[in-house]
């Protein structure tokens, strides 16, 4: 992947301080080491699932599902996969019923994912599905060692897999949380990790990505009061769920009170898909309040060569310039045109180019955003890895539920 910054920044001391902090953080934050992990146990586990299983259903919410879903939906259009993945990530009864209507329960394996082992949304859904199918061989549970869920799973006689130490949910896509469902679907998880590790080496080894990521993080941090809305404008439908993953990662990590003050800070994430959203949200970017930075993501090779037919339509001859134009070229021309328009308005932006749709590139892109999140969190002085605001809502919900009993 290539990343071009359209803003200039010269603050070497701040960049060096941020890099030093990240080096120290590696010792106790687990996600940094995930690209270099041994995945043999995961691959062995994947082989244990019978070949007649056609579907894998993930029961989880937030970080327990968004990462795997982002990778799966990115890869799915360009690769024939072994199994379909489904994601139960909402207590919406219509959503649950609709998803179940698509599944043959006898040919579905369920992955129940909860780090704490007591996630209310996850277990409300699990209880319902368990009432329909209570065969222990149909379930695998992914949780922390010693959690209530592990104890339940062992009593139930189901398989249990563990999360690695010190890996929070929203940073867990490259752990068992993401790798297990992806491996079961037939996605090349070794290539996924290779892409992430290539990015990691480029950052920590003083490569191209170190300078780029540090400059970008410092710009966001130093301008977070003015440009407090951060938009991704992704020019491919395959990146729709990547945008959802980014929104959770960015919002839950950076929207905090500062560690050394009571001041509330954060950069609001927005995920956009081009060219669709350039016919709506672009107006706000162009002429709205100057409080937004934008990152464009585009794919150089879509591996699909469909072309606009050489057809002239009565009264629409002005559109004949489209004739014989590949759609892949058109969508990137649209992207480049929007970039130029925003640059003329002096909107701070950068662009990321992905060579093609494959596991290595999405692995690199996700690790890039995890590193960027950690850097910005350090620079705006927040604890990137907790989520007290989310926990506050959970506490209130538990009180409400207890009052019913």
Number of residues in the chain? 405
Say which of 73, 150, 244, 252 is annotated catalytic. 252
Compute the half-sphere exposure of residue 319: CA atoms within 13 Å on the CB side of its CA: 8
pLDDT tens for 289-344 read: 999 999 999 999 999 999 999 999 999 999 999 999 999 999 999 999 999 999 99
Task: List the chain pLDDT tens, one digit each, 405 residues.
Answer: 999 999 987 788 999 999 999 999 999 999 999 999 999 999 999 999 999 999 999 999 998 899 999 999 999 999 999 999 999 999 999 999 999 999 999 999 999 999 888 889 999 999 999 999 999 999 999 999 999 999 999 999 999 999 998 999 999 999 999 999 999 999 999 999 999 999 999 999 988 899 999 999 999 999 999 999 999 999 999 999 999 999 999 999 999 999 999 899 999 999 999 999 999 999 999 999 999 999 999 999 999 999 999 999 999 999 999 999 999 999 999 999 999 999 999 999 999 999 999 999 999 999 999 999 999 999 999 999 998 887 777 788 888 878 887
pTM, full prediction: 0.95
Q: Would you call 294 helix, strand, or coil by DSSP?
A: strand
Compute the distance between CA of residue 231 and CA of residue 242 in angstroms, rounded to an integer: 13
Residue 279 bears catalytic tag: yes
Structure tokens at 287: 């002429």
Per the CB < 8 A criterion, the answer to whether 197 and 32 are in contact is no
pLDDT tens for 30-43 read: 999 999 999 999 99
Say which of 279, 315, 340, 400 is annotated catalytic. 279
Compute the distance between CA of residue 122 and CA of residue 114 in angstroms, rounded to an integer: 7
Residue 260 bears catalytic tag: no
Compute the distance between CA of residue 50 and CA of residue 46 in angstroms, rounded to an integer: 9
The DSSP code for 164 is P
């Amino acid at each position: 992947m290539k990343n071009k910054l359209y803003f200039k920044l010269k603050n070497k001391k701040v960049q060096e301080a941020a890099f030093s902090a990240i080096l120290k953080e590696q010792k106790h934050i687990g996600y940094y080491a995930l690209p270099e992990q041994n995945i043999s146990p995961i691959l062995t586990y994947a082989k244990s699932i019978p070949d007649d299983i056609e579907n894998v259903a993930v029961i989880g919410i937030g970080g327990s599902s968004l990462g795997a879903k982002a990778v799966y939906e990115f890869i799915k259009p360009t690769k024939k996969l072994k199994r379909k993945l489904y994601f139960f990530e909402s207590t919406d009864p219509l959503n649950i019923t609709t998803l179940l209507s698509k599944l043959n329960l006898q040919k579905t394996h369920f992955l129940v994912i909860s780090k704490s082992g007591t996630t209310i949304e996850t277990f409300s859904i699990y209880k319902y599905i368990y009432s329909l199918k209570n065969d222990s061989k149909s379930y695998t549970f992914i949780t922390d060692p010693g959690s209530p869920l592990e104890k339940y799973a062992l009593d139930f006689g189901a398989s249990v897999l563990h999360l690695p130490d010190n890996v929070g949910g929203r940073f867990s896509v490259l752990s068992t949380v993401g790798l297990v469902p992806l491996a079961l679907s037939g996605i090349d998880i070794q290539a996924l990790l290779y892409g992430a590790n290539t990015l990691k080496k480029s950052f920590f080894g003083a490569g191209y990505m170190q300078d780029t990521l540090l400059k970008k993080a410092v710009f966001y941090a130093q301008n977070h009061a003015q440009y407090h809305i951060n938009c991704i404008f992704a020019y491919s439908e395959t990146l729709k769920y990547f945008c959802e993953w980014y929104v959770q990662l960015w919002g839950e990590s950076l929207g905090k009170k500062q560690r050394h003050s009571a001041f509330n800070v954060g950069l609001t994430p927005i995920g956009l898909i081009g060219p669709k959203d350039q016919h709506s949200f672009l107006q706000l970017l162009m002429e709205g309040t100057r409080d937004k930075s934008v990152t464009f993501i585009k794919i150089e090779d879509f591996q699909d060569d469909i072309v606009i037919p050489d057809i002239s339509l009565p009264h629409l001859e002005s559109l004949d310039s489209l004739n014989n134009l590949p759609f892949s070229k058109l969508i990137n021309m649209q992207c480049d045109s929007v970039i130029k328009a925003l640059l003329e308005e002096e909107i701070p932006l950068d662009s990321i180019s992905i060579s093609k749709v494959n596991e290595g590139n999405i692995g690199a892109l996700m690790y890039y955003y995890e590193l960027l999140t950690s850097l910005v969190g350090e620079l705006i002085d927040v604890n990137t890895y907790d989520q007290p605001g989310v926990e506050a809502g959970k506490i209130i919900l538990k009180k409400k539920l207890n009052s019913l009993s």
